[in-house]
Chain A
Amino acid sequence: AQSVTQPDIHITVSEGASLELRCNYSYGATPYLFWYVQSPGQGLQLLLKYFSGDTLVQGIKGFEAEFKRSQSSFNLRKPSVHWSDAAEYFCAVGAGYGGSQGNLIFGKGTKLSVKP
């Protein structure tokens, strides 16, 4: 069965430090992978997505992610964290159906806190 694992429930980093959020997936076919961010009281905002091609994907707000098929991973990175990055981050795999974007299977999320 398809699944997404985010091993870290809560991470705290200092402002200006680098960040890496881990994501491992289980999916039988070529995965379609996403990272979303959710601020308190907000819906989900797409940071980046991977469908095919270059395994290093650039997203919004200075985020990037690298797809590693051999490790079934899609880790999210940012070289320098800003206080406004404090939020909850969700990794998801897309289970496509009928040519349209199908349901997304989400991990349980990683809450990011940023120390001044």
Chain B
Amino acid sequence: DAGVTQSPTHLIKTRGQQVTLRCSPKSGHDTVSWYQQALGQGPQFIFQYYEEEERQRGNFPDRFSGHQFPNYSSELNVNALLLGDSALYLCASSSRDRGFLETQYFGPGTRLLVL
């Protein structure tokens, strides 16, 4: 049973560019959440997708956007990259139907470096 997968594993971009990160949830999961983990910090919630709609959003600017596809996979897009966007981006999946008690499973992350 494949867990949460993310691509690419590493990425280098320059300021002002745009980036797209991808996530495939664990089999049977329909909800995807994205987190940003800066160096030396805990992960911070960006947003959550369910039924192809953004359901919750953390304190991140509109430069951060996402999408969820019918197969439940998801993309995170960041426009106009800033140096401060350099971080590990984590995707987590869960099953909404199982309610709040369902565990979120995290992928290995994509490390983004903005130069």
Contact = CB atoms under 8 A, between A and B. Distances in A.
Interface of A: 4, 32, 36, 41-46, 49, 51, 90, 92, 94, 96-109
B42 A90 contact: yes
Given A100-B99, A103-B56, A43 B42 contact: no
B108 A41 contact: yes
Interface of B: 4, 31, 33, 35, 40-45, 48, 50, 55-56, 58, 90, 92, 94, 96, 99-109
A43 B106 contact: yes
Contact of A43 (B45, B100, B102, B107): B107
A97 B43 contact: no
17 contacts: A32-B100, A41-B108, A43-B108, A44-B43, A44-B106, A46-B103, A99-B99, A100-B100, A101-B94, A101-B103, A102-B56, A102-B100, A103-B45, A104-B43, A105-B45, A106-B42, A109-B40
B43 A100 contact: no
Contacts of A97: 55-56
Contacts of A107: 42
By CB atoms of chain B within 10 A, which of A32, A51, A90, A103 has the most? Answer: A103
Contacts of A44: 43, 90, 92, 106
B108 A45 contact: no
Nearest to B104: A101
B31 A103 contact: no
B94 to A, nearest CB: 5
A101 to B, nearest CB: 5
A94 B100 contact: yes
A36 B48 CA distance: 19
Contact of B48 (A45, A51, A103, A109): A103
